[in-house]
Amino acid sequence: MDLYEHQARQLFAEHGILVPRAEVTDAPGEAREIARRLGGRVVVKAQVKTGGRGKAGGVRFAADPAAAELTARQILGMDINGHTAGSVMLAQPVDVEDEFYVSYVLDRAAGRFLAIASAAGGVDIEEVAATRPGAVARVLVDPADGVTSAKAGEIAGAAGLPPQTADVLVRLWQVLVREDALLVEVNPLVRTRRGQILALDGKVTLDDNARFRQARWGADDARHDDGPEAAAAAKGLHYVKLDGEVGVIGNGAGLVMSTLDVVAGCGARPANFLDIGGGASPQVMADGLSVVLSDPAVTSVLVNVFGGITACDAVADGIVRALETVRLTKPLVVRLDGNNAALGRAVLERRAHPLVEQVPTMDGAAARAAELAITA
């Protein structure tokens, strides 16, 4: 469960991490009053559970309360990567001297958490890692030991962060452990001209298995959470939005993860992770297709299914029935293998939908979906 930025900042403040004063609203008129309370000049930030807000125009400065109201009016309702900005956060601006990046993320393969930190914050950390890999430090954290002051000093030293950031690193670990988080990230963590260390932005992902302990976040701003993740969750689907153009549907998390890698290896970018699980019923397929096709960035869709308990002919029947309720506007590439694969392929051949084509291998299907996406 991803939190909004203002929720992440609330958690940080509860654990003793300094954040600038800020308030949230969904009314432009109230934005004027908030800006007045905060001193006039503010930063207005769209509250959506996705990245790329700044590039999309969802983060802007406002010089006075009147400008804050106008800016809030312009941002509210904005579509940012398929998410509608239903609220904005107004925050006091900060005199920044230096910007840093810090995060903890679960490394499932290693069975530990990974601390990622860099003295080059405030920009896409992926870009920094790609162009200057030495500028990003990665330090494994044993969950049994946690982040002590000594461990925090090790992380800060490896990343070239100032010593006073070590206290923040300890407190961020407390956020992760006490709030059942799988990811905590601050970008940027800043040092002001007065020497204070503040978190200007925050991203927190909580473990869905701990929802019963984190109920206070479940319903907050639910009326604004209308992105594809929310639509998928309402249908019981496991969906994660990615920044690509090939929609991916598969049965089983491992198969879907492998499919993402193969698509990327073919020169295209996956648009999502969508696991329909073991039961690919007609309704599940219809729901999955509708969610994937709702993403305007998707230019082709790849369905990759290996029949096991659920036979491929049942999956194919589900696709056929789904096409009766979902208007297919993008090319759909289907790969069926495993239990009753030949029967499943025959079902799709009889339907002969003009936008549906079958490819027998996973590599070939991914290559075809990538080709269709790139040339669309």
**From 4, 101, 104, 239, the catalytic residue:** 101
My answer on whether 245 and 340 are in the same domain is yes
CATH code of the domain containing 178: 3.30.470.20
d(CA 362, CA 311): 17
**From 5, 185, 229, 245, the catalytic residue:** 185
My answer on whether 75 and 108 are in the same domain is no
d(CA 74, CA 61): 12
State residue 262's pLDDT score. 95
342 domain residue, yes or no: yes
My answer on whether 246 and 363 are in the same domain is yes
Count up the domains in the chain and report the number.
3
End position of a domain, from candidates 53, 71, 91: 91
State residue 240's pLDDT score. 86
Residue numbers of the chain with a pLDDT score lower than 70: 123, 218-227, 278-280
Q: pTM higher than 0.75 for the full model?
A: no
State residue 57's pLDDT score. 92
State residue 158's pLDDT score. 94
End position of a domain, from candidates 213, 246, 261: 213
State residue 277's pLDDT score. 76
CATH code of the domain containing 335: 3.40.50.261
My answer on whether 130 and 82 are in the same domain is no
State residue 247's pLDDT score. 96
State residue 376's pLDDT score. 75
State residue 134's pLDDT score. 80
| 97 noted as active-site residue | no
Q: Residue 109 to residues 116, 140, 146, 239: CA-CA distances in angstroms? A: 16, 12, 18, 21
| 101 noted as active-site residue | yes
What are 233-287's pLDDT values in tens digits? 778 788 888 889 999 999 888 899 999 999 999 999 999 999 887 666 778 888 8
2 domain residue, yes or no: no
52 domain residue, yes or no: yes
My answer on whether 65 and 40 are in the same domain is yes
165 domain residue, yes or no: yes
End position of a domain, from candidates 188, 213, 238: 213
- Print the domain residue range for 183: 96-213
My answer on whether 283 and 196 are in the same domain is no
CATH code of the domain containing 70: 3.30.1490.20
Q: Positive or negative CA dihedral for 367, 361, 261, 348?
A: positive
Question: Tokens standing for 191?
Answer: 């040092």
Closest CA to 141 of 174, 163, 119, 118: 174
My answer on whether 200 and 249 are in the same domain is no
My answer on whether 173 and 102 are in the same domain is yes
My answer on whether 209 and 79 are in the same domain is no
Angle, alpha carbons 86-84-27 (nearest 5°): 20
My answer on whether 197 and 269 are in the same domain is no
My answer on whether 86 and 105 are in the same domain is no
My answer on whether 46 and 154 are in the same domain is no
